[in-house]
Structure 1
Amino acid sequence: MPMNRLLQGDVGSGKTAVALYALCVASANGKQGVLLAPTEILAEQHYETLRSIFGSSAALLTGSMKKAERDDVMRRIADGTALCVTGTHALLSGDVKFYDLGCVVTDEQHRFGVRQRAAMQEKGVRPDMLVMSATPIPRTLALILYGDLDISVIDELPPGRKPVKTSLIPPQKREDMYVYLSKQAAEQGQQSYIVCPLIEESENIDCPSVSALFSELKKALPKTRICMLHGQMKDAEKERVMRAFRAGEIDMLVTTTVIEVGVHVENACFMVIEGAERFGLSQLHQLRGRVGRSAMQAYCFLLTSEGNGEANARIQALTKTSDGFEIARQDLLLRGPGDFIGVRQHGDAGLMMLGGVLDVQTLELAGRAAREIVSTPNEENARLLELANERYDAMSDIAMN
């Protein structure tokens, strides 16, 4: 029976180390392994690690590769000389053929759609599947509750790490907050990420943008080293900015969610999220995980639009816990579990949910009953299985985590 497992743990808890061990086990058994990443920055980071373990048997495939380089990597994947492969959505392309795929690891699984993860699974013959996330999205949580996934939990941070302290900052304290960050940079050398929902100002959407906030802060804090980063910049320019930030040459980085995954800067102690109501709890939790990567105390400051009481109430959940499953439970209450089986990520599952989330004891009882029905062949159970299969077929053509 192939593995279908969720590895849950906060950012920086050691999930990648577990994933690498799974890939090593696949390699030791003569199987290929693949590590699917949502961004090229993260894929390249994984590749450097894989290359240190597997040497020339490691391979990287991304969408920005030149054709000749891409063709060479695809050939190595097809003939099995590339034993361990990492890459982005480019790996999902139909012309990428594996010689003998035995293990699929999906990093930051909430960044991939259901069909995308299914497409990766279909590239092998029942490969082991390991999905990793610091915060399961609602649909993932729903399927966990129904027993479709096995769960492994890393429930503590490495020695010396401190939980990130999270606060909701009122609008009247916004200016003081930025002055404080500037002071911390000058006196302690501590760096800050400042995340905005938009790159440019919009006439239709009233929320902070990278370009406007960058100009505002440059004017208000002339002695602070401030740069901006967003997805529309050229790759070389993005890499230059990130290299400077990692080297401590930038105090404040005004950015979009391009830094949500794959960025590791130990000296970054502050995460400011403007227009926090524009993000889901899962994404906010991921962004918060970009700081607190060292023994220094880290902070996450959340800012919302004035008068947005409903959003503030929702975001308060993030200030009360750093537990990924609890945040996912809150997200489930707010956004629904998505289809019980299918491709829709959010919304009503068409199932009765008492108090928003089914009681755990009821779920455990239902799970035991389902296993008994499957394992005990008789006429009554056969009919129940038939009804379940009819509903399954009507709802979707796949069942994935």
Structure 2
Amino acid sequence: SFRTPAHLRLIFEEFFLLETGLALKRKRARETPGIAFRTDPRIRECLKKMLPFHPTAAQKRALAEIVEDMRAPSPMHRLLHGDVGSGKTIVALQAAVIAIENGYQVVMMAPTEILATQHFLYFRRLLERSGYTTVPLSGSSTPREKKAIKKLLREGAAQIALGTHALVEQDVEFKALGLVIIDEQHRFGVMQRLRLMKKGQAPDTLVMTATPIPRSLALTIYGDLDVSVIDELPAGRLPILTRQIPEEAASEAYAFVRSQVASGTQAFVVCPVIEDASALENGNADQSRKTRGGDLKSALKMYEFLSQEVFPEFRVGLLHGRLPAEQKEKTMEAFQSGEIQILVGTTVIEVGVDVPNAAVMVVQQAERFGLAQLHQLRGRIGRGRKQSHCLLLTSRQQTEAARQRLAVLERTHDGFAIAELDLRLRGPGEFMGTRQSGLPALRVANLLRDQEILEWARRLAMDFVEKGDRQELARLVSYIKENWNRRYGLVRVG
């Protein structure tokens, strides 16, 4: 290695200061008085009754860890981390039932209206016999709806609120908020998450992600959280068969979709953009094409082409982020009921669309997507007992490197292995989206190259915070506050 002893020292120091700050945040959180939820036999029986299926061993383990945290007298700060389709939502719902049965309210925030609606419908269906009042709140709710929902929450008449960032608005108040659940939490800014948590008196917090995160990133970004991993899929799931098809052979892919849909299954067609050359509006279309290496397939044109020319005999729907919320909800419900047989969309379907009968996905210009994102998209199928197929259509501009990258998806379904490779290919900042993720601005250390030093620094930092000299620790805290807060986001250290 090119790292000199002096270089190693600087790397270690940078990691040690970061991990010390994270360890102090954990320690402070555990010393804060919170809610000690009870879990008596009546509540355990209530949880068993609402389960729609037998949980996996991984789901049971994750729930046991969450229950242990909820029973403790300090606030829970836990990350529920699982691959696509692993069943995180039902675990979160069980945690919500524990909080409600103890007399508290629950809020669940999701990054998109589609995902928030999906959660609302799922929670409402499973809890309809419980007598709980479940309410949705999003930016597209009408003023009258918002006023009525906020009144229910303020008076404690609604037990669960599910929605988007509209939940963090200043006038959203809870009578007794006991549990905050944040889904796909890396898509929210740090301040949005904090504002939601401050709507209760030290509520328990459960954050979830379906984006598999390599250990080096998890230790750095989520170092102040306890982590539960669901690394097992529900029984009966078949591996998704994935293959690359050049775009000149697209007719072969469409013929396969036709045969599958005719047999009773449903299909997704995913495009990289909503409409063609949006840069035209700014007069930059030529430059846009030049930088992107060619025109991107748009969902609007693909919808017209497939519905009118390729699949006129099938019912084809369209779903993208710019549709009004009511139209999105109707489209989703129509797809879930089977009324829509083929759904054309953008990456808005990456999270939140759960249709067990959907067994085919065609991804247009697959080389334009990151590996982890393609894995997320692929997770929308394979949720039933039918064999599922993911067809990656690739354009003529695809390089050999891109072809080999996509070949990884053909070989494996392990989201963590795919994420590790994607991280190496794209780097930590692009992989996570630095602005939203809380990824620290490291100057000397490298998360990929220096993983063993990160682990070493973390062990020593945790030991120092627990057993080190108090005066030395106080001096170090003062140094971190003065020099590292802004870079590392350790605002609440000490």
TM-score (norm 2): 0.71
Q: Which of 171, 174, 181 is residue 105 of structure 1 equivalent to?
A: 181
Distance in structure 2 (CA, Å) of the matches to 1:351 and 1:54: 53
Structure 2 equivalent of residue 213 of structure 1: 302
1:289 aligns with 2:379: yes
CA contact (8 A) 1:139 1:346 kept: no
Sequence identity (%): 46
Query: Helix, strand or coil for the counterpart of 1:69?
Result: helix
CA contact (8 A) 1:138 1:346 kept: no
CA contact (8 A) 1:337 1:346 kept: no
1:4 is displaced (CA, Å) by 1.9
Structure 2 equivalent of residue 345 of structure 1: 437
1:271 is displaced (CA, Å) by 1.3
Distance in structure 2 (CA, Å) of the matches to 1:109 and 1:211: 29
Structure 1 equivalent of residue 9 of structure 2: none
Deviation string 1:221-277 (CA, Å, 9 cap, x unpaired) is: 444443333333444444443333333343322222232222222211111111233
Structure 2 equivalent of residue 384 of structure 1: 476
CA contact (8 A) 1:23 1:103 kept: yes
CA contact (8 A) 2:106 2:159 kept: yes
Q: Which of 446, 463, 476 is residue 372 of structure 1 equivalent to?
A: 463
Alignment of 1:220-231 (within 5 A): 220-231=310-321
CA contact (8 A) 2:299 2:345 kept: yes
2:208 partner letter: M
Structure 1 equivalent of residue 394 of structure 2: 304
1:139 is displaced (CA, Å) by 11
Structure 2 equivalent of residue 42 of structure 1: 115
Structure 1 alignment gaps of length 5 or more? none
1:328 partner letter: A
1:195 aligns with 2:262: no
1:38 is displaced (CA, Å) by 2.5
1:152 is displaced (CA, Å) by 1.0
1:291 is displaced (CA, Å) by 0.5
Deviation string 1:328-363 (CA, Å, 9 cap, x unpaired) is: 3233323433499x855388832545682533x543
Structure 1 equivalent of residue 239 of structure 2: 163
Structure 2 equivalent of residue 30 of structure 1: 103
Tell me which moved more, 45-54 or 346-355. 346-355
1:16 aligns with 2:89: yes
Structure 2 equivalent of residue 5 of structure 1: 78
Alignment of 1:113-152 (within 5 A): 113-136=189-212, 141-143=217-219, 147-152=223-228
Q: Which of 215, 227, 248 is residue 172 of structure 1 equivalent to?
A: 248
Distance in structure 1 (CA, Å) of the matches to 2:325 and 2:135: 21
Query: Helix, strand or coil for the counterpart of 1:169?
Result: strand
1:300 is displaced (CA, Å) by 1.6
Alignment of 1:45-56 (within 5 A): 45-48=118-121, 49-50=123-124, 51-52=127-128, 54-56=130-132
Structure 1 pair 238/105, CA: closer, same or farther in 2 (3 Å)? closer
1:210 partner letter: A
Deviation string 1:106-153 (CA, Å, 9 cap, x unpaired) is: 123243233322322232333222111221468993445773222111
Tell me which moved more, 285-294 or 243-252. 243-252
CA contact (8 A) 2:221 2:439 kept: no
Distance in structure 2 (CA, Å) of the matches to 1:354 and 1:238: 42
CA contact (8 A) 1:77 1:98 kept: yes
CA contact (8 A) 1:343 1:396 kept: no
Deviation string 1:271-327 (CA, Å, 9 cap, x unpaired) is: 111123333333322211111111111122223332332444444443333233333
CA contact (8 A) 1:138 1:338 kept: no
Distance in structure 2 (CA, Å) of the matches to 1:334 and 1:349: 19
Structure 2 equivalent of residue 261 of structure 1: 351
Q: Which of 316, 322, 332 is residue 413 of structure 2 equivalent to?
A: 322
Query: Helix, strand or coil for the counterpart of 1:131?
Result: strand
CA contact (8 A) 2:86 2:232 kept: yes
Total equivalences in the alignment: 397
Q: Which of 155, 162, 179 is residue 79 of structure 1 equivalent to?
A: 155
Tell me which moved more, 283-292 or 307-316. 307-316
Tell me which moved more, 170-179 or 291-300. 170-179
CA contact (8 A) 2:319 2:345 kept: yes
Distance in structure 1 (CA, Å) of the matches to 2:213 and 2:339: 35
Tell me which moved more, 74-83 or 377-386. 377-386
1:198 is displaced (CA, Å) by 1.8
1:182 aligns with 2:272: no
CA contact (8 A) 1:105 1:132 kept: yes
Distance in structure 2 (CA, Å) of the matches to 1:377 and 1:367: 14
Structure 1 pair 58/189, CA: closer, same or farther in 2 (3 Å)? closer
Structure 1 equivalent of residue 23 of structure 2: none
Structure 1 equivalent of residue 19 of structure 2: none
Distance in structure 2 (CA, Å) of the matches to 1:313 and 1:247: 38
1:301 partner letter: L
Deviation string 1:33-75 (CA, Å, 9 cap, x unpaired) is: 2111223343333334245265344332222222222112212
1:90 is displaced (CA, Å) by 0.9
1:127 partner letter: P
- Larger relative contact order (Cα-Cα within 8 Å, sequence gap ≥ 6): 2
Distance in structure 1 (CA, Å) of the matches to 2:484 and 2:174: 30
- Structure with larger Rg: 2
CA contact (8 A) 2:217 2:447 kept: no
Query: Helix, strand or coil for the counterpart of 1:22?
Result: helix
Structure 1 equivalent of residue 369 of structure 2: 279
CA contact (8 A) 2:186 2:437 kept: no
Structure 1 pair 256/80, CA: closer, same or farther in 2 (3 Å)? same
Structure having the higher helix fraction is 2
CA contact (8 A) 2:137 2:167 kept: yes
